[in-house]
Amino acid sequence: MNLLVLNGPNLNRLGKREPEIYGSETLEDVKNKCVTLAAQFNANLEFKQSNHEGELIDWLHEAEDSGVDGIVFNPGAYTHTSIALRDAIAAINVPVIEVHISNIHKREEFRHESKLAAECVGQITGLGTFGYELALRKFLQQ
């Protein structure tokens, strides 16, 4: 099984950025947990982060072309704005699970809507970085 974890803007600052909301783990910490979990199931895992919408779109397209079986995607703030990312998810025949560290529904109004969720298998929000593990397990254990 080939899995991809994608992270959007500002998640490269995890651990330093508003730790009261996003926690003290770094993105490297999250990557290490994801890689370790995938290895337990003999699955291949790529873990990527970009602050650029177009690069995330390119990676979604490449995932289909390269035979990725499932994508765990934290789109960051693009969650709330990006029709282009929504269209990219709709365009590929690869299941995507949307993950948010914080509970977007308990935060500012503008974070309550996801432009992407309707094109995803499901959404995990507010469970901290554990959400990445849960999303991966959905692919690994189904």
Residues that are catalytic? 22, 100
Q: Decide: is 24 part of the binding site for ligand DHK (CB under 6 A).
A: no
Quick check: 10 binds ligand DHK (CB under 6 A)?
A: yes
137: its two tokens? 């397990």
68 sits in the region (left: phi over 0; alpha: psi -120 to 50; else beta) called beta
Contacts to ligand DHK from residues 110-139, by CB under 6 A: 111
CB of 66 to ligand DHK, least distance (A): 25
Segment near ligand DHK (CB under 6 A), from 37-45, 59-67, 70-78, 82-90? 70-78
For position 49 contacting ligand DHK by CB under 6 A, the verdict is: no
Q: Which token pair is 49?
A: 């982060």
The number of residues making up the chain comes to: 142
Between helix 53-65 and helix 83-91 the angle, nearest 10°, is 0
C-alpha span between 128 and 108 (Å, rounded): 17
Residue among 85 and 104 whose Cβ is closer to ligand DHK = 104
In the block, residue with structure tokens 């914080």 = 102
Of positions 74, 82, 114, 123, contacts ligand DHK by CB under 6 A: 74
